[in-house]
Structure 1
């Protein structure tokens, strides 16, 4: 058995031990930052660090494999060169710097999202310009990098004698080195098959414990590899006929006629009663606006005076929930009325993001000008491709002159500039005699929380409170300008969040952390009232079509919740792995490896129990997600303009 007396093994072990020490310190610091939330006991503390060590070693096995192969097979004549040994000292310094940088990045990511690296971190790598600009504007990044470099150099200097002694030790004989290469290959194969991203990473059902027991870099690469999850392979299923029956019960409305040949196809003709109302629609999706920030939902900091006043004059949904934790999930749910299927959202499934029966397509078929207006650059999160391929024309930061933007940061133009562009589009459409549907996406309520000076009494860049208050200010200014327009009286204004400011909690799907506002405002057409039943972002599109009294062929998984004959409320919510259905009291959760759990009193004590697919709430949960995954895979949600002929009505 090779011992650590050999140069290659001694050198490699020093670097790996330093990395393990950094992993241990990172896990400990993250644990201390959420000690009360993690619910740690002496027993599960041991399990947390034990399972964590397995993940740490698994990552190091992958990360160190190229270097290990090189060290074992490096010829003796090259190994003995002085410049080569200096190079290996430099490699040690660089590896320590990379590990320290990763630890700091993990802390910043954890501070914002409450989880280890995941799909979000992968997306941030893809959309690097916005992310780098955001980091530069949010943190003293250059001094921080200099400090990390100094620490890496200092540690390498402190270890120089140990490293030099290791490099000058006898080399592992070539035959043993070849055996070592084979053993490493076997270990890699075993790790790949036995240690997975969705494996149990801790004890109990506490999300913080599982996240702490994982390894951030390991999770990053696992998320990069598994950016889509096949529903049937990973999740609990029901017979197709059962799914078809349950789904049609969920989405059925009076006089609805299902027309799909596939039993799981929910394509149906919706007959909304009453005379059509040819109203304009301005749908504002607000970045990261948790309901808890609004004074009318209990906040005492007076951050949202305009929205609090608007609530008094609007149709308000008091128990309304986001489907996911990212902007793309909110846009997917609102635009396509789709549950959050596992893996990437449809918005970002490049090459398969277009051609669906979206809200923009539906209103476009009725004569509306459907426009997506975004405060940033629409290539981020693949938004331009998604909206452009699903019936919208695009107005984003790249199509707006610098002179028309009073302020820009890493994510785009200030909200007031976005609203100014929306007013221009509305004015132009109104002058041409067109009805318009404007779907806006704001950016200001996002780190680095910067906005134009002099608007509110909180300094720009001071944190989330200021960003929320500026977001509210911009909405107030927008409505004040809109009220002066000739098209105002015949326009529905919809204000809804894309997701909350933070969804992390002790549980996999903490329902309270998905709570967002939804206001529908049109003084001449919508009575101020509170809708208290549970509803979801997937209900926005069919409810708007109902408010307009428009008949159409629907592929929406949501429903018009304002019909007196609607079924009891429910909310679909999830993240890229966990898929939930909340009925107002209990929550059913689906997880990979056919996991099924039920949380009773989900907004209270949230008592968890294992259930089977005979549980009624779980059956509904499975039906939604199995059906949605099937519909996406088979393109049952595709836009068929020929089907709209009988429903078409020009509103010009």
Structure 2
């Protein structure tokens, strides 16, 4: 103590920070326990290796979180050891640590829907919800065990902290005291800077989420290495929409053809009705799984299966994002979401050519329906950007007797409201309905309890209910004069709880059904080619004979010859682009992996055996990302070349 007057204080500070490491380790173990069926780890040793690599990410989080606590603990003052000062440090320590620590517990449950750690974009999505208190109460009710774990661990953490007491010391304002205090302060600050960056090398950038993938055998393990507060911190002020120059513009125009124009059909004006079905993953639809050969497979959509017999369906279709708002932008505007959502970026407030604007230009009335409180999910705001003529939400429905108590109006009555409202529209019209009931908390109206199979996972019963709501809608719509002159589209926004191993594979995790139905059965059949949400927009324009040029990164699923079938999305911290015989993983600048098209789990990287087809696929990746970023950033989401 005489040589180092504040040694005991520094020792206690280290112990208090080590407590944070201990509880982050416990949270990582619990995260894996809750999601072990989604993340493959071969042994305890492999898991401990992941935890070891996670220490760097924990260090960044803990030092960010405890920055003020550390500063106030080591400030060269004379009052640091006093009781009231230490009491203030106690409240500062736990007010920051428990807030950040709680984010890990959210992902115990939320991970199974997004397959990635929550980021700033996840918080942006929550901001759009007007019923946050109801959602929180529902989460508390259904996942009480998560809250219990959090508060139990917080209680133990507090008890252990209280055992790390700093004894009051009366120090005199000597030169030695202040000199050693300032020296200790500067050393600790330097150590903290290095810890936050991940190392002390000037030449390297601070560690980010991509670095977690450096230590894994399969993509999902990166989320064990990470912690949720780190993911939120690192994406807080990050703008991943940045222009890149990877290929000549002529290459973009020839490979991607971002400005489409079709002259395959005579111009007509059928009504267009699009159902974007919440969490209605391909896995749950029997008609879309006939070729999968999944042992003991069971579907939950008898009506959609019957409708599929008279429709054109795509059994190898993929979502272009992970959240509901991503589905809206992908389906209606042909704009996918990758690392960060386009709709949460600085760029959605611009003129966007879309299915809405192109149809309005030829005389269509357009409307959007969503039974949740107006503005939920950000749909109203983005709908306004796209230029819908009308928006119909819970406010317009105006009958809380049909409110499910959490998200919105039950699907069956809202679908009937949808039908009645369309019947009052002047033709031609384009209307989109985004459903709500096939969603957590996975309940059906009381009068239908027991009517639909419980199934293998929690959402299956709700899928059966939404399928029934669709059956009731079509039964009534058939009676209307507009029905026979209408093209109907059914597509899911994204996936949800997974029952079968086939859909746990990395490239199969977010697959969706795509179905086109017209009462005259002009388009009928089963197509197994790759398809995706961004293909719906150009396909519909092709079907109705829209002959003007328009901006689209997708392709017509009924006639496109120049652009081969493909699917693009973002997952496991990389772009994933599938076409032909391979899946290419792309880090934004170059290919980092190639996998056989049948290796949907993306387990065997073939990059060391590159061939001409792989090189061509990488070139298409570069063209896509370059044009996507350039058009978004430069606000050229129109036919401007």
State the TM-score, normalized to the length of structure 2.
0.85
- Aligned twin of 2:27: 26
1:520 aligns to what SS in structure 2? strand
| Equivalent residue in structure 1 for 2:276, among 285, 293, 296 | 285
Q: Are residue 173 (structure 1) and residue 177 (structure 2) matched?
A: yes
Question: 1:561–1:125: structure 2 CA closer, same or farther, 3 Å change rule?
Answer: closer
- Aligned twin of 1:528: 524
CA contact (8 A) 2:34 2:108 kept: no
CA contact (8 A) 2:16 2:164 kept: no
What's the CA shift string for 1:57-85, capped at 9, x where partnerless? 121111111111112227424752x4333
- Quote the offset at 1:204 in angstroms: 3.8
Question: What is the CA–CA distance in structure 2 between the aligned matches of 1:128 and 1:532, rounded to whole Å?
Answer: 37
Question: 1:502–1:626: structure 2 CA closer, same or farther, 3 Å change rule?
Answer: farther
Question: 1:208–1:143: structure 2 CA closer, same or farther, 3 Å change rule?
Answer: closer
| Pairs within 5 Å for 1:153-192 | 153=155, 155-157=157-159, 159-160=161-162, 162-164=163-165, 166-168=166-168, 173-190=177-194, 191-192=196-197
CA contact (8 A) 2:366 2:431 kept: yes
- Quote the offset at 1:411 in angstroms: 2.5
Question: What is the CA–CA distance in structure 1 between the aligned matches of 2:136 and 2:57, rounded to whole Å?
Answer: 28
CA contact (8 A) 1:206 1:506 kept: no
Question: 1:581–1:527: structure 2 CA closer, same or farther, 3 Å change rule?
Answer: same
- Quote the offset at 1:556 in angstroms: 1.0
| Pairs within 5 Å for 1:119-268 | 119-127=120-128, 129-130=130-131, 132-140=133-141, 148-149=150-151, 152-153=154-155, 155-157=157-159, 159-160=161-162, 162-164=163-165, 166-168=166-168, 173-190=177-194, 191-192=196-197, 193-232=205-244, 238-241=246-249, 244-251=250-257, 266-267=258-259
What's the CA shift string for 1:135-188, capped at 9, x where partnerless? 32133378975775465345534553x333x24367793333333443344345
- Quote the offset at 1:546 in angstroms: 1.3
1:542 aligns to what SS in structure 2? helix
What's the CA shift string for 1:243-287, capped at 9, x where partnerless? x33443443xxxxxxxxxxxxxx435x242342222100011111
Question: What is the CA–CA distance in structure 2 between the aligned matches of 1:447 and 1:175, rounded to whole Å?
Answer: 59
Which runs of 5 or more structure 2 residues have no equivalent in the other structure? Answer: 198-204, 290-295
What's the CA shift string for 1:519-553, capped at 9, x where partnerless? 11112152431122211211111111111122122
Question: What is the CA–CA distance in structure 1 between the aligned matches of 2:345 and 2:214, rounded to whole Å?
Answer: 31
CA contact (8 A) 1:587 1:602 kept: no
Question: 1:469–1:526: structure 2 CA closer, same or farther, 3 Å change rule?
Answer: same
CA contact (8 A) 1:508 1:578 kept: no
1:549 aligns to what SS in structure 2? coil
State the TM-score, normalized to the length of structure 1.
0.84
Question: What is the CA–CA distance in structure 1 between the aligned matches of 2:78 and 2:404, rounded to whole Å?
Answer: 57
- Aligned twin of 1:481: 476
Q: Are residue 499 (structure 1) and residue 507 (structure 2) matched?
A: no
CA contact (8 A) 1:202 1:213 kept: no
Question: 1:626–1:602: structure 2 CA closer, same or farther, 3 Å change rule?
Answer: farther
What's the CA shift string for 1:583-635, capped at 9, x where partnerless? 15311111256453211234456421337898111111111111111122223
2:549 aligns to what SS in structure 1? strand
CA contact (8 A) 1:341 1:625 kept: no
Question: What is the CA–CA distance in structure 1 between the aligned matches of 2:79 and 2:476, rounded to whole Å?
Answer: 77
- Quote the offset at 1:580 in angstroms: 2.0
Question: 1:548–1:525: structure 2 CA closer, same or farther, 3 Å change rule?
Answer: farther
| Pairs within 5 Å for 1:34-113 | 37-40=39-42, 44-73=46-75, 75-77=77-79, 79-80=81-82, 82-91=83-92, 94=95, 97-98=98-99, 101-113=102-114
| Equivalent residue in structure 1 for 2:324, among 323, 327, 334 | 327
CA contact (8 A) 2:259 2:639 kept: no
Q: Are residue 441 (structure 1) and residue 449 (structure 2) matched?
A: no
Question: What is the CA–CA distance in structure 1 between the aligned matches of 2:167 and 2:8, rounded to whole Å?
Answer: 5
- Quote the offset at 1:220 in angstroms: 1.6
CA contact (8 A) 1:445 1:468 kept: yes
| Equivalent residue in structure 2 for 1:294, among 262, 285, 296 | 285
What's the CA shift string for 1:83-136, capped at 9, x where partnerless? 333444445555675466344333223344343333553335534654553232
Task: Kindly report the root-mean-square deviation, in angstroms, between the aligned alpha carbons of the 2 structures.
Answer: 3.5
1:76 aligns to what SS in structure 2? coil
CA contact (8 A) 2:80 2:86 kept: no
Question: 1:315–1:54: structure 2 CA closer, same or farther, 3 Å change rule?
Answer: same
| Equivalent residue in structure 1 for 2:579, among 573, 579, 583 | 583
Question: 1:156–1:34: structure 2 CA closer, same or farther, 3 Å change rule?
Answer: closer
Q: Are residue 455 (structure 1) and residue 448 (structure 2) matched?
A: yes
What's the CA shift string for 1:396-455, capped at 9, x where partnerless? 43532432761233322222243233223312213xxx3110012112111112342223
CA contact (8 A) 2:31 2:105 kept: no
Question: 1:379–1:155: structure 2 CA closer, same or farther, 3 Å change rule?
Answer: same
- Quote the offset at 1:47 in angstroms: 3.5
Which runs of 5 or more structure 1 residues have no equivalent in the other structure? Answer: 252-265, 644-652
Question: What is the CA–CA distance in structure 2 between the aligned matches of 1:428 and 1:126, rounded to whole Å?
Answer: 34
2:424 aligns to what SS in structure 1? helix
CA contact (8 A) 1:6 1:169 kept: no
- Quote the offset at 1:230 in angstroms: 2.0
Question: What is the CA–CA distance in structure 2 between the aligned matches of 1:4 and 1:556, rounded to whole Å?
Answer: 68
Q: Are residue 514 (structure 1) and residue 505 (structure 2) matched?
A: no
CA contact (8 A) 2:105 2:146 kept: no
Question: 1:213–1:582: structure 2 CA closer, same or farther, 3 Å change rule?
Answer: same
Question: What is the CA–CA distance in structure 1 between the aligned matches of 2:503 and 2:284, rounded to whole Å?
Answer: 22
- Quote the offset at 1:496 in angstroms: 0.6
2:399 aligns to what SS in structure 1? helix
Question: 1:4–1:368: structure 2 CA closer, same or farther, 3 Å change rule?
Answer: farther
Question: What is the CA–CA distance in structure 1 between the aligned matches of 2:387 and 2:74, rounded to whole Å?
Answer: 58
Question: 1:4–1:541: structure 2 CA closer, same or farther, 3 Å change rule?
Answer: farther
Question: 1:10–1:208: structure 2 CA closer, same or farther, 3 Å change rule?
Answer: same
CA contact (8 A) 1:113 1:502 kept: no
Question: What is the CA–CA distance in structure 1 between the aligned matches of 2:465 and 2:361, rounded to whole Å?
Answer: 36
- Quote the offset at 1:463 in angstroms: 2.8
Q: Are residue 559 (structure 1) and residue 555 (structure 2) matched?
A: yes
Question: What is the CA–CA distance in structure 2 between the aligned matches of 1:531 and 1:110, rounded to whole Å?
Answer: 31
Question: What is the CA–CA distance in structure 2 between the aligned matches of 1:134 and 1:586, rounded to whole Å?
Answer: 41
1:519 aligns to what SS in structure 2? strand
Q: Are residue 610 (structure 1) and residue 601 (structure 2) matched?
A: no
| Equivalent residue in structure 2 for 1:304, among 301, 306, 319 | 301
What's the CA shift string for 1:359-413, capped at 9, x where partnerless? 1000001100011212224534432222212221342435324327612333222
Between 542-551 and 299-308, the greater mean CA deviation after superposition = 299-308
